[in-house]
Amino acid sequence: MNDIEVKKVIRRAIEEDIGTGDITTDNMIENGRKVEGVITVKEKSVVAGLKVAELVFKEIDSEVKFEHMKNDGDLVKEGDKIASVWGEISSILKGERLALNFLQRMSGIATKTRKYVDRVKDYDVRVTDTRKTTPTLRDFEKRAVSLGGGHNHRMGLYDAVLIKDNHIKSVGTIGESIERVRGKIPHTTKIEVEVESIEGVKEALDNDVDIIMLDNMSLEDMERAVKLIGGNAISEASGSITLENIEEVAKTGVDVISVGALTHQIESIDIGLDVK
Amino acid sequence: MNDIEVKKVIRRAIEEDIGTGDITTDNMIENGRKVEGVITVKEKSVVAGLKVAELVFKEIDSEVKFEHMKNDGDLVKEGDKIASVWGEISSILKGERLALNFLQRMSGIATKTRKYVDRVKDYDVRVTDTRKTTPTLRDFEKRAVSLGGGHNHRMGLYDAVLIKDNHIKSVGTIGESIERVRGKIPHTTKIEVEVESIEGVKEALDNDVDIIMLDNMSLEDMERAVKLIGGNAISEASGSITLENIEEVAKTGVDVISVGALTHQIESIDIGLDVK
Amino acid sequence: MNDIEVKKVIRRAIEEDIGTGDITTDNMIENGRKVEGVITVKEKSVVAGLKVAELVFKEIDSEVKFEHMKNDGDLVKEGDKIASVWGEISSILKGERLALNFLQRMSGIATKTRKYVDRVKDYDVRVTDTRKTTPTLRDFEKRAVSLGGGHNHRMGLYDAVLIKDNHIKSVGTIGESIERVRGKIPHTTKIEVEVESIEGVKEALDNDVDIIMLDNMSLEDMERAVKLIGGNAISEASGSITLENIEEVAKTGVDVISVGALTHQIESIDIGLDVK
Amino acid sequence: MNDIEVKKVIRRAIEEDIGTGDITTDNMIENGRKVEGVITVKEKSVVAGLKVAELVFKEIDSEVKFEHMKNDGDLVKEGDKIASVWGEISSILKGERLALNFLQRMSGIATKTRKYVDRVKDYDVRVTDTRKTTPTLRDFEKRAVSLGGGHNHRMGLYDAVLIKDNHIKSVGTIGESIERVRGKIPHTTKIEVEVESIEGVKEALDNDVDIIMLDNMSLEDMERAVKLIGGNAISEASGSITLENIEEVAKTGVDVISVGALTHQIESIDIGLDVK
Amino acid sequence: MNDIEVKKVIRRAIEEDIGTGDITTDNMIENGRKVEGVITVKEKSVVAGLKVAELVFKEIDSEVKFEHMKNDGDLVKEGDKIASVWGEISSILKGERLALNFLQRMSGIATKTRKYVDRVKDYDVRVTDTRKTTPTLRDFEKRAVSLGGGHNHRMGLYDAVLIKDNHIKSVGTIGESIERVRGKIPHTTKIEVEVESIEGVKEALDNDVDIIMLDNMSLEDMERAVKLIGGNAISEASGSITLENIEEVAKTGVDVISVGALTHQIESIDIGLDVK
Amino acid sequence: MNDIEVKKVIRRAIEEDIGTGDITTDNMIENGRKVEGVITVKEKSVVAGLKVAELVFKEIDSEVKFEHMKNDGDLVKEGDKIASVWGEISSILKGERLALNFLQRMSGIATKTRKYVDRVKDYDVRVTDTRKTTPTLRDFEKRAVSLGGGHNHRMGLYDAVLIKDNHIKSVGTIGESIERVRGKIPHTTKIEVEVESIEGVKEALDNDVDIIMLDNMSLEDMERAVKLIGGNAISEASGSITLENIEEVAKTGVDVISVGALTHQIESIDIGLDVK
């Protein structure tokens, strides 16, 4: 994550929530009284977003002190105190909801990722996210995936080639698609191809791609594909991966399993802030 | 929703995804060939985000035609075609994921909202969202709640007063809290107070508030509170509302039930775009 | 006011005035010499904008010290020193005009507001602003109205419903207009209706609105309206209110008097900055 | 004026007023019905801001038709129709207040300027504005001054040198001040010096400045100064110019009279929009 | 290139050049007269920037017609007409300098790139740019390199790993550096290591990197390195590459030669616009 | 230069280079270790951009210390240390390339300017830049010209009138062109006219312009023109000025020589940063 970008998002979020002013707090609370707020997790989870939460409070009031009692990525249990904030009560009250909104979502993603990762921890395989992220918050969500023990897939359409079904249909063949793109992209960029059959795997291998995405293949075909690839490309399983079937998929020997659900099903973790 | 704001968010989302360019499509697809893409829903749901999806494609390429086959808010079933896009294949491919990311999330929220609303359809009660929304996308999510048959709570800290626990603790009493704020806010603004006990309800009533939030009260207390209020304020149930308990809550006679889960648990609907 | 927004406006104002550089100061003054500047009011007035002026200097040079000798909202007389700034002479010279431009306008609005408020100080009535504010500076102007002892009306089209003549004409009747909107807006939002006759007042009351705006009514009709309303809605007088007639209007018993002139006739207060 | 900048200001103004949506119009008016709105002036004035008003409506809804019945700069009388807008009723209602806010202020400035200019129309003298403009709206206000027959002074601190009292005090002498700056600024840039005495005029002339500002001088001194200058620099009268004294000032023979009141006392013109 | 980003840069450039208005054109030219302007190249070159130039004029005035007589990437000779613009004379005059500033610089880069590429056209080698680009205009400059027949290196610090001298020094060894990064980056991302000796090449190969940058190596060492690598990684020559020595470098058999001079020495091509 | 604007450009440049994160440094370097980096010039040059480089590092990490060993504008020789930075190694590595990109380009411009200025140091003449600057970086480049001993021409189309060939052609005559513009522009603004012949010089003089640009004239004509002008306007030579011919041009007695090549041929100076 790039702090300059993160702060821009936070400022927009503050504008969204506070707008022309927090009319409850501004009209009720006198400045001067400082309080401590303690942030507590209410269910077992992997914490993610503490640094973001800190930046939220600092952006609202640079005088606020934020103490990390746990670190991003830590596994915590119900009742664990993960951070405390100390400052003007009005600053704490204004930042509370927004800080929690980031924390709860990011921790939700990290926690879910951890569950997927744990299921396949005995296999030599990576669990990655996809581009199915919340628009404008991809960076936050990919960070949460990392904190949960997962890995990131490409950041966007600009940093790796992924030739999909619709591209191939439009160009004609896998070979022709790869040839067109290979001559133009930077030599620092990898090429991934999405295939749906063993035929596709062969064609991709013949064209010397870096990564082969096995899209919605049966477990048997996946296993055959992995053998066929034999280490000459990275194999990536994709499509309809669930907590239930991920171990079966890992058993096929694929190198990477990409899981859309990590970010398009978001179950926020229950986290609260109590002012003392 | 305000189109100027919506377009700003969409432009940021395009920047996030496309960055310096879609290196797969830009290096592979020749301009000139136009195709149709059909957007299909793969599970029963309430559609939300079609207008946003249209704006995504238009922002990428103003020549793209977008036809609505269903309208935002429609209940659709598996396999229903909800829209078609027609234009340069490269424009369709670039906008596909982003348009779907909006559609899937917004439809997920609308569909979930509908479930809550349906559970209490025989009661004279509103189901509303909260401020537990995805940072910077509140407007999109509140729109989705509306499309699912729910209602919106206040938009942010600026458009209604909500005196919470922490405010009252800081000021001393409910009465004093209300008095401070009432003299300063616009006469066009309502005051809501969060209470946790029947005592609190009485104090709020004595101070003539507009809305009383019954926070995490037992069903029995809620029922007593509603009777006590007797139409002299709007009663709002809040805290730990689930699909399982919402009907019980509605039976207490409250006017409004606010449900954080509508937006902090996001289950994207499966929606796909197929290029013909 | 929300500091993040205020600073954004200030930065734009600095860009507008300084552009590519203050070619007089930058080419003439050597850095290093620090001076004190004293800000003095040259006519009896209510000061408004000191916090904004401070932010102007801080934004130009974070090292500048700004001391408040009076507070925003204070009544001051000719010759009163209201603040001093201390820092690099070039920073003082660059910020001077812009700080004064804010101070003079905001104090002009606060001072005028105070005059209106003073005229009706023996009545139980509020004097409020309207949406007739300077585009992009509404927040600053509404703040100045508050500092002058007035109250704010709604902030914009988004935080309260105000059904006007043109709306009613378009829909048909007051009743139908209210019914359409009531079912859709948040329960945290008030409804105001603009009426021009006693008939209108009755229709509004029948439909249980929160606020009734008596638009350009005769004093007699206003008085009748107030009696008719009898505390069942907030009554607001509007249209052609002047310093001369405001007391007569207050005598009718209305709860609120909204005065466009507070912000659409701006008489800047004469305020100067002298470098010692 | 530069359209790109003007549109940016307009978009900010729309965001300020409409925010998350016009909850009255959006929840009440069905799309599809088109109406005409007529903009009428309610007092004798010089119209300014029609082009800005047109851009306001176009920015809200590019389909709106805007017809100019008068042009910016025209002298109009009570009751004159100056423009009509035609389009979706919701677009007209949303843009109405903002378009009028610009029109009323800009026409107020143009009308006031015209009064000053008319007083001195028999003299060979320019009436100009100053930097005492509304922060972030200088361009709009300077345009209004031009439309009222006045001229613009420098746009900001970046496009002309103006050596003031505080600069001279800091450097030592007028001569030294000018020498420092002359060697560094572009040869395309003029130098103006503010003087308060005949001595100052002489020193300025000795140093070959382009413009001499006679600041708050007596009429007698001004006359002497003009003679002394004898066409070797532009003479500019400044300070405490009013409608009452401007003709006396013009009689001294100065080339330019700069009038802060043109923009720091803003008397909006009464202009209305009626939907038919 | 991503049009949304390109237009943002163009708007900033227009603001920079036109600011509050083109005071020459706006005060002199009457609207209504349309003219044709022809853009002519005055020296042999590779054209780059025509699409950008078109967007410049369209952004200033969407009615301007822009006809491409040559395409971006075409080799042209002195006197060749490359484009014509037709529209309001004021729009042509306002956009002229800015359009040419983009065209001249981009064509300068494309032309220089072509010279380097031509020198090694008989070798199986790519010529690429580096990160030594003009701040905020990298995308434009990398596009120009492509149009000149060169290839792009990574876009920034975010889309490929490049482990340099300073990284290795900080971590300890090449092996440790690679190990740390490999486990964390996406599987879609390549790793490049900068080495200065044959020892470094071996260490990089042992750690299975994708690209080995041979930094400022002697031709002999480069040749040895290429043999050692033997197709197991991409070899990239870097450092002090000139038109004079590039062929010698190509002879060593490296796959890629990266040339900082393509973008940090900018020789604008002489291109003019004549209004007929 | 205006720091607010400079920082905006720097932030955009950081976003361009770092994007979603420096994946090499972020995944490899542990926080905590602080290092010193020394910036050294590798060829004789005039340093420009040190203040910008400092702001680059501060923007990335406000804790970084930046020490100026030389000042902007100093003449330095190969091997001179010009600045040191001290801070987190990751901050130094992230800012290195961008800081150097600014320094190298600005120093390149300053150094080249110095060469032109030195050639005419025995003549009473200014060397200035033009509007042929890199889009969006004009301010940085004009600053570099100043630091190299040159002067700036107008900043853009907004701060001085320059009537060119195409303007005159469109209006008819020089006289008519000047007349139109003179009545409308501020009295603080100069008028320059571009002429190509002695006839043009006479017409310009008759119309009392401030500056006459002698465009691509022969040395003989220039000399005649200078005599004809006789101090009644500033004379400016322009067009095809090179290091070779600038002294000959200066001998004609012109006041100003404007040189496009200062900024449209950019030869970056070799400057490096070494981490100790």
User: Which residue did the predictor score with more confidence, A32 or F190?
Assistant: F190
User: In this predicted structure, what is the pLDDT of residue A33?
Assistant: 86
Q: Are residues F190 and F71 in the same domain?
A: no
Distance from chain centroid for Cα B84: 25
Give B-chain residues touching A39 at CB under 8 angstroms: none
pTM, two decimals, is 0.95
Mean pLDDT score, D159-181: 94
CB D101 within 8 A of CB D21: no
User: In this predicted structure, what is the pLDDT of residue E227?
Assistant: 98
Distance from chain centroid for Cα E98: 19
pLDDT band at residue D21 under the 50/70/90 scheme:
very high
Average pLDDT, chain C: 96
Q: Are residues F165 and F89 in the same domain?
A: no
Mean pLDDT score, A182-205: 97
Q: Which of E196, F185, F14 is CA-nearest to residue D160?
A: F185
Token pair listed for A76: 């915590």
CA distances from E271 to A178, A209, E49, E72, F240 (A): 38, 43, 12, 14, 13
> Any chain D CB within 8 A of the CB of F192?
yes
Give A-chain residues touching E188 at CB under 8 angstroms: 153-154, 159-160, 162, 190, 192, 210-211
> Any chain D CB within 8 A of the CB of B4?
yes
Q: Please compute Rg for chain E using Cα positions.
A: 23
User: In this predicted structure, what is the pLDDT of residue E197?
Assistant: 96
Helices (runs of H) and strands (runs of E) counted in chain E: 11, 13
Q: Centre a 10 Å sphere on the Cβ of residue C173 and count the other Cβ atoms it contains.
A: 11
Q: State yes or no: pLDDT of F31 exceeds 90.
A: no
Q: Is C131 a catalytic residue?
A: no
Active-site residue, selected from the candidate residues F74, F203, F215, F236: F215
User: In this predicted structure, what is the pLDDT of residue F43?
Assistant: 97
pLDDT band at residue A82 under the 50/70/90 scheme:
very high
Q: Are residues A72 and A178 in the same domain?
A: no
> Any chain B CB within 8 A of the CB of E1?
yes
Nearest CA in chain F to C26: F1
Q: Are residues F168 and F219 in the same domain?
A: yes
User: In this predicted structure, what is the pLDDT of residue D114?
Assistant: 98
Q: State yes or no: pLDDT of C54 exceeds 90.
A: yes
Q: Are residues C147 and C199 in the same domain?
A: yes
> Any chain F CB within 8 A of the CB of E171?
yes
Distance from CA of D143 to the nearest CA of B (A): 26
pLDDT tens column, E120-166: 999 999 999 999 999 999 999 999 999 999 999 999 999 999 999 88
Q: How many residues does chain A have?
A: 276
What phi and psi values does residue A152 have, to the nearest 5 degrees? -95, 145
**The domain containing residue A81 runs over which residues?**
3-117+267-275
User: In this predicted structure, what is the pLDDT of residue E32?
Assistant: 79
Report B:128-167 residues touching A (Cβ under 8 A): 131-139, 155-164, 166-167
Between CA E64 and CA C226 the distance in angstroms is 60
Q: State yes or no: pLDDT of F26 exceeds 80.
A: yes
Which residues pair with residue E238 across a beta bridge? E215, E258
Q: How does strand C161-163 pair with strand C234-238? A: unpaired
CATH code at position A155: 3.20.20.70
Q: Are residues B247 and B126 in the same domain?
A: yes
Distance from chain centroid for Cα F249: 21
Which residues pair with residue C75 across a beta bridge? C46
Q: Are residues C141 and C259 in the same domain?
A: yes
pLDDT band at residue D216 under the 50/70/90 scheme:
very high
Q: Are residues C109 and C131 in the same domain?
A: no
Active-site residue, selected from the candidate residues A132, A138, A190, A251: A132
Active-site residue, selected from the candidate residues F132, F190, F224, F251: F132
Q: Choosing among A4, A161, A188, which should be mutated to test the E contact, i.e. which has the most E CBs within 10 A?
A: A188
pLDDT tens column, B45-56: 999 999 999 999
CA distances from E20 to C102, C112, D138 (A): 21, 33, 10
Between CA B49 and CA B1 the distance in angstroms is 12
pLDDT tens column, C14-35: 999 999 999 999 999 987 789 9
Q: What is the ipTM of this complex?
A: 0.96
Active-site residue, selected from the candidate residues B70, B115, B132, B182: B132
Q: Are residues D102 and D176 in the same domain?
A: no
Q: Are residues A132 and A91 in the same domain?
A: no
Token pair listed for E73: 């990437």
CATH code at position D83: 3.90.1170.20
pLDDT tens column, E106-123: 999 999 999 999 999 999
User: In this predicted structure, what is the pLDDT of residue A75?
Assistant: 98
pLDDT tens column, B161-211: 999 988 998 899 999 999 999 999 999 999 999 999 999 999 999 999 999
What is the percent of chain A where pLDDT is above 70?
100
User: In this predicted structure, what is the pLDDT of residue E33?
Assistant: 86
Distance from CA of D102 to the nearest CA of B (A): 19
Mean pLDDT score, D41-52: 98
pLDDT band at residue C192 under the 50/70/90 scheme:
very high
> Any chain F CB within 8 A of the CB of E267?
yes
Number of domains in chain F: 2
**Number of cross-chain residue pairs from B and E with Cβ atoms under 8 Å apart:** 19
D230: which residues sit within 8 A by CB, 6+ positions away?
Answer: none
pLDDT tens column, D256-270: 999 999 999 999 999
Average pLDDT, chain E: 96
User: In this predicted structure, what is the pLDDT of residue E58?
Assistant: 97
User: In this predicted structure, what is the pLDDT of residue D84?
Assistant: 98
Mean pLDDT score, A9-23: 96
Query: Could you say which of B1, B4, B139 has the minimum Cβ distance to residue D11?
Result: B4
Q: Are residues B67 and B192 in the same domain?
A: no
> Any chain B CB within 8 A of the CB of C235?
no
Q: Are residues F95 and F195 in the same domain?
A: no
Distance from chain centroid for Cα F196: 26
pLDDT tens column, D187-202: 999 999 999 999 999 9
User: In this predicted structure, what is the pLDDT of residue E153?
Assistant: 98
User: In this predicted structure, what is the pLDDT of residue B39?
Assistant: 98
> Any chain D CB within 8 A of the CB of B2?
yes
Q: Which of E82, E79, E85 is CA-nearest to residue E54?
A: E85
